[in-house]
A and B are shown apart, each in its own frame.
Chain A
Amino acid sequence: GAVVSQHPSWVICKSGTSVKIECRSLDFQATTMFWYRQFPKQSLMLMATSNEGSKATYEQGVEKDKFLINHASLTLSTLTVTSAHPEDSSFYICSALRGTDTQYFGPGTRLTVL
């Protein structure tokens, strides 16, 4: 089956620093990847849709300058949390679209901002 990886699986950083999270589709090409955020015991909330070679489309309420997304290749999308603060602590999950309608999810990255 299709595999999506995320790196790192967890990260702890100081307030004010930036953190980059990578999402890779290992055995298929994905022109579209999605970034979700999940708070404890809550559902996944879509943050943005990442399209290879073009700008990401952000959902309402998500700060573009805060959460920078780069989808430079068909197998890699990155999410950079800039000037992270404690309220950004969360579980970030990516998914990659295979074909037209099947999403495969990464294992998630737990971010803790001190």
Chain B
Amino acid sequence: AQRVTQPEKLLSVFKGAPVELKCNYSYSGSPELFWYVQYSRQRLQLLLRHISRESIKGFTADLNKGETSFHLKKPFAQEEDSAMYYCALRGRSGAGSYQLTFGKGTKLSVIP
């Protein structure tokens, strides 16, 4: 079974402070990890994926297979980063098809 754990429901940081949103996963195969973001009153949208190894809006995430983690980081938080962040793992579902399994999400609040 695949599982994604985001231990923090809420994370508050001051503007300009570093941000780290934690994500741990459990999956028997080779995982594909994603971070999705949902801004207030907007739809869920892809922020970044581990295979791209890219930086989006200043955010980066490194897959650490040894620690089964995919933490999201940004060196200097901005007010516009305030949103709900979901970590997701793409793997085979119980029905046999590929699916995204989401963590419970972390609400990031950046204090001006």
Q: Which of B32, B95, B98 contacts A59 (CB 8 A)?
A: B95
- B-contacting 9-mer, from A67-75, A80-88, A97-105: A97-105
Q: How far is the CB of B73 from chain A (nearest CB, A)?
A: 21
12 CB-based A-B contacts, threshold 8 Å: A34-B100, A43-B86, A43-B104, A43-B105, A46-B93, A49-B95, A57-B97, A60-B95, A93-B43, A93-B44, A103-B46, A105-B43
Q: How far is the CB of B31 from chain A (nearest CB, A)?
A: 13
The 8 closest A-B pairs by CB, nearest first: A57-B95, A105-B44, A43-B104, A107-B43, A43-B102, A44-B102, A49-B97, A105-B43
List the A side residues contacting B99 at CB < 8 Å. 34, 46, 49, 59
Find residues 77-106 in chain B having any chain A CB closer than 8 Å to their own CB.
Answer: 86, 90, 93-105
List the A side residues contacting B101 at CB < 8 Å. 46
Q: Looking at B44, B86, B102, which has the most chain A CB atoms within 10 Å of its CB?
A: B44
List B residues at the A interface (Cβ < 8 Å).
9, 32, 36, 42-46, 86, 90, 93-105
Q: How far is the CB of A91 from chain B (nearest CB, A)?
A: 11
Chain B residue nearest to A108 (CB atoms) is B43
**Contact call B100/A46, Cβ cutoff below 8 A:** yes
Q: How far is the CA of A30 from the CA of B95 in the complex (A)?
A: 19
Q: How far is the CA of A41 from the CA of B38 in the complex (A)?
A: 13
**Contact call A49/B100, Cβ cutoff below 8 A:** no
List the A side residues contacting B32 at CB < 8 Å. 101
Chain A residue nearest to B97 (CB atoms) is A49
